[in-house]
Amino acid sequence: MTISKAEAASALTDIEDVRRRTTSAVEYERASPLLIVWGVVWLLGYFACGALPINLWGLAWLPLVVLGTAASIRVGSRASKRESRLAQEHSLGRALLATICITAFLICVGMVIGPIQSDGYMVLPALILGLAYTLVGLATLPRLAWIGAAIFVCTMAGYWLARPALPYWVAIAGGGGLIMGGFWLRRV
């Protein structure tokens, strides 16, 4: 059995199309549980900010971040069980580096702009998160761009329209956005 050049080209196009869709689906599947984990952390953390005085915010966030990190490592190790140990260490290293970069960025923003009001502390991480997801989505996975843009817009809407209930608004916009986004990523 022989095939023509046109048939071969058509078959290669089909292969490339399926390869692209499968790669995206696999990446979305890996990202999905991480978004859900951090959505829950976000939701609980900002609800705690709404319920507690500002001097206790750190105490509320610390155990949540530790739990979120532990859950992420567990999810990541499950997802990469077929990857080499070296690849797993690289993934963990990148995650830690990203956390350090975000923390350093927030500290620097505080130093450059001056003391940030409590509303700013609530809104800024959500805006950074929204921007980061939008940029990653534009570069690789389009659905992340939609999730990031939705979080960004909802957060700013809360900042302008719902200032008295801001922590709860940010909890639902950011945390809810991540959780819903995580479930959306599971759909092919």
Return residues touching another protein (CB under 8 A).
Answer: 1-5, 8-9, 11-12, 14-15, 18-19, 21-23, 25-26, 29-30, 79, 81-83, 188
Work out how close the CB of 138 gets to another protein at its nearest, in angstroms, rounded to a whole number. 22
Work out how close the CB of 92 gets to another protein at its nearest, in angstroms, rounded to a whole number. 18
The alpha-carbon radius of gyration of the chain (Å, integer) is 20
Short-list 143, 147, 105, CA closest to 130: 147
Residue number, 25 or 136, with CB nearest to another protein: 25
Residue 150 and residue 188 in contact, taking contact as beta carbons nearer than 8 Å: no
Residue number, 78 or 94, with CB nearest to another protein: 78
Work out how close the CB of 35 gets to another protein at its nearest, in angstroms, rounded to a whole number. 17
CA distance 126 to 102: 12
Token pair, residue 184, equals 């959306």
CA distance 99 to 147: 20
Residue number, 2 or 117, with CB nearest to another protein: 2
